[in-house]
A and B are shown apart, each in its own frame.
Chain A
Amino acid sequence: MKIIKVAQEWLGACSGCEIAMLNMGEKFFDLLKKIEMVHMPLLFDHKTFDEFQDAEIEISIVSGCVISEEHLHLLKKIREKSQKLCALGTCATHGGIPSLLNSWSTDAALKEIFSSNSKKDHLTFPNKDLSGFLDRVYALDEFVEVDILLPGCPPRPSLIREFLSKLIKGDFPSLPNKSVCDTCPTLRFGKGRKGIIKRAMENPEYDPNEPIEKMHCFLEQGYLCMGPVTLAGCAFYDAPPCIKARTPCRGCYGPVYSDGNQMLEMMNALASVGIEWKTIIDRRSLLRFSGAHGLLRPYPGSK
């Protein structure tokens, strides 16, 4: 059998996706025996893609969003050298948390950060030798063709393994369009209790000695839970991990359909359990994992 070449690269990323890969544990090493990992800066001292022929790498796995010229340049190069490109993690597929920045222009953000706590009012702006920033945060498929989307912040290790095994066999894996609620065992009665959204200032009602199946759904208890508008994929053992921790879903796998809009869909979901969406204090946060693709736009009047 031909040993296939795989590359892994990170752009505007937090390293969590790579750590999730390592969290396959010994299975990660088993996997590495079946492929030739030609590039992965977290683990290997291999620095550039220049030496590869066009389409020489069978599979490239790229995490992170695109926010700088350098990311964009690298992304285009990887695309050229790879047969298949897999976007790993919600930053790569939908902008992820960094795309919250799209509520402002990158200029405004930089100014703020470099003046914030300086008493001397010196505005030295860093610019030497550093790559320039784009006007906003982008997902990979806004610039290049992406063959496989594996969202999750980060995707669960066993899911990454499953995707990689299929990719190596030549398949194009994808997640079925189910929602987190479809994988959630909490009790539901079909109606919200209060009509307004409560802020997460206390724990929900539950008995810690009882399993998660006995807890009443967060949304129906009146807490914001984004399970209805979030792609299923995180659940393992018996429940989605955040729900298992007795905290609500915040949407980290992005929308159920990859071109969905978690904010609009959540407003519908709230209406269907009788909760007034206007009582959410910060509606932009509903796009906190999926603000790329032009969904999160600058505040009116902000430059």
Chain B
Amino acid sequence: MNANIHINPITRIEGHASVKIFLDEKGEVKKTRLLIHSLRGFEKFVQGRPAEEIPRIVTRICGICPWMHHLAASKAIDNCFDIRPPLAGNLLRELCHLLAHIGDKILHFFFLASPDFLIGPEKSHYSVRNIIGIAKSFPALTSKVARMRQLVHEMLESFTGRSIHPVASVVGGFSKPMLEEERKELLKAASKLLDFALFSLEFAKKDIFGPNQDLFENLGTIETGFLGMVDNSGNLELYNGNLRLMSKDGEVIDFSPEEYESYIEENVVPWSYSKVPYAKIWGKGLSLKIDDPKGVYRVNSLARINVVERISTPHAQEALEEFRNRFGRPVQNTLLYHWARLIELIYASERVIQILNKKEITDPNVRKKAEPKAGRGIGCVEAPRGTLIHDYTTDKDGCIVKANLIVGTTHNTAAMNLSVEQAARSFIKKGYIDEEIINRIEMAVRAYDP
């Protein structure tokens, strides 16, 4: 019997991972493991670096969400040096954060995930199940998507110099104020983004979620808790707020990001270079047993959409209500991450317009002068892939002595393992595996956008 299967690498995801599937003598799935390969030592090599340089170094953790690392680190270093940026500095940071969310969601949904649904795993060979295949079958859509991605990058680039590996958020605030002409230009572009966001959800409902209903209801579904950011009244927040942990029965606890260590703990497991965080506050430890998981929570779009009471912008709120009416709360179907992502795309576009309409956004006072000192600072934002926590300690010269980073994908390690196992068990029978089955299993991972 063909004993083990190794899917290596998982493709059309933004990182490096593979799946091992262990079969028993009858060819049934015994267990599975999702292996996250990348580990590049950032927590070690930031040690000794002057803290004000960190926001320009940790961007290289991820070239897809560099803004989120840039900003989480900026917030953390502000806290180490005990400094609060002026209002305009904070608004400019949030603006960039939201624009980067928009770019990422377009990339993930259309370039990486949509080929699975528009071209379909069963109909197609790997050589067409991708963005080129989409470009051939849906040329108008593809050029629209490419233009919108381009627009987001140009908005970030024209104002901050760089869209990949940004530099404009600095300790104490922002490196430059926004001029009135820049504000007007950005506002014009932002209304195009909102139109596109609304179009995307309608398109997806009709051409993706509708025709693939069966997949969306079953593939990779597991029962877990959720973690995401909310404001003081339980509204969706992506940049600044409290964290909310929701159990699988819907009970919630809110806490400040500074207290993260009292609520979640990271476990080291022998089979992955990614640590496995779990909700220690639930008091049941961590277990990855597929029929009775313990301590497992999920992050990223679906988690955020589950934990919030409401969304403060009108179109996104409407989309949230429709989603809840159809699927309830909390929603456990893994593929619905995609739908939740498009609701967030609408929120981010609406919020960009709100921020650009605030008169403080063009205030020239964008940065406070910092002084290096000893301290500890925690910075937290919601990255596209989930709650991102940067935690640094500095010495008296303001250089880093200790760092702990929990990135979005890491929170999802336990849950992704469960979803992969669920998918493998339902598709692999008597040791039979083919290209279509492999892609179905990969789809369970892809939903998490690791």
Contacts and interface: CB of A to CB of B under 8 A. Distances in A.
Given A203-B170, A246-B176, A282-B48, A45 B112 contact: no
Interface string B43-60: 111001110110011001
A202 B41 contact: no
Interface in B81-118: 107, 111-112
Interface stretch (A79-87, A99-107, A267-275): A99-107
B272 interface: yes
Contact of A96 (B60, B157, B261): B60
A14 B61 contact: yes
B333 interface: no
Given A101-B44, A125-B270, A25 B161 contact: no
28 contacts: A14-B63, A16-B164, A20-B63, A23-B153, A32-B132, A43-B112, A44-B12, A46-B127, A100-B57, A103-B45, A108-B44, A112-B44, A116-B404, A123-B268, A124-B268, A125-B268, A129-B33, A130-B272, A199-B372, A200-B52, A200-B53, A203-B176, A241-B162, A242-B161, A247-B56, A250-B56, A282-B49, A285-B49
Interface string A11-37: 011111111101101101100100001
Given A23-B164, A242-B162, A284 B48 contact: yes
A41 interface: yes
A53 interface: no
Interface in A226-266: 241-247, 250, 252
A70 interface: yes
Contact of B157 (A10, A106, A241): A241
> Which interface class (under 10, 10 to 19, 20 to 34, 35 or more) fits B?
35 or more
A135 to B, nearest CB: 13
A34 B160 CA distance: 33
Contacts of A16: 60, 62-64, 66, 164-165
B304 to A, nearest CB: 22
Contacts of B48: 103, 282, 284
A252 B162 CA distance: 12
A98 interface: yes
B48 to A, nearest CB: 6
B11 A45 contact: yes
Interface in A135-182: 153-154
Nearest to A123: B268
A109 B45 contact: yes
Nearest to B15: A15
B126 interface: yes
Contacts of B57: 97, 100, 288
B370 A201 contact: yes
Contacts of B166: 245
Contact of B130 (A10, A45, A125): A45
> Which interface class (under 10, 10 to 19, 20 to 34, 35 or more) fits A?
35 or more
Kindly name the residue among A110, A113, A128, A202 whose own CB sees the greatest number of chain B CB atoms within 10 A: A113
Interface of A: 10, 12-20, 22-23, 25-26, 28-29, 32, 37, 41-47, 67-68, 70, 96-98, 100-101, 103-104, 106, 108-110, 112-114, 116-118, 122-131, 153-154, 199-203, 208-209, 241-247, 250, 252, 281-282, 284-285, 288
Contacts of A208: 176-177, 179, 364
B221 interface: no
Given A46-B126, A202-B370, A22 B162 contact: no
Contacts of B218: none
Interface in B1-42: 8-9, 11-12, 14-16, 20, 33, 35, 37-41
Contacts of A126: 268-273
A153 B165 contact: yes
A15 B63 contact: yes
Given A124-B270, A126-B273, A245-B160, A28 B165 contact: no
B168 interface: yes
B15 A285 contact: no
Nearest to A16: B63
Given A26-B143, A241-B157, 4 more contacts: A16-B66, A26-B150, A125-B268, A208-B364
Contact of A127 (B112, B127, B270, B442): B270
B270 A15 contact: no
Interface in B166-209: 166-168, 170-172, 175-177, 179
A59 to B, nearest CB: 18
B135 interface: yes
A168 B266 CA distance: 48
B131 interface: yes
A44 B9 CA distance: 11
Contacts of B52: 199-201
B163 interface: yes
B115 to A, nearest CB: 9
B31 to A, nearest CB: 12
Contacts of A131: 37
B188 to A, nearest CB: 19
B209 to A, nearest CB: 22
Contacts of B35: 129-130
A128 B33 CA distance: 11
Interface string B345-370: 00000000000000000001011011
Contacts of B147: 25-26
Given A41-B9, A129-B271, A241-B157, A100 B168 contact: no
B30 to A, nearest CB: 15
B364 to A, nearest CB: 6
B402 interface: yes
Given A118-B268, A124-B269, A281 B150 contact: no
Interface in B383-403: 397-399, 402
Contact of A154 (B9, B11, B164, B168): B164
B266 A118 contact: yes
Contact of A43 (B61, B111, B439): B111
B171 A201 contact: yes
Given A101-B45, A201-B371, A284-B48, A12 B40 contact: yes
Interface string B116-154: 000000000011011110010000001100110110010
Kindly name the residue among A13, A22, A200, A201 whose own CB sees the greatest number of chain B CB atoms within 10 A: A201
A96 B41 CA distance: 13
A199 B271 CA distance: 42
B39 A113 contact: yes
A10 B38 CA distance: 11
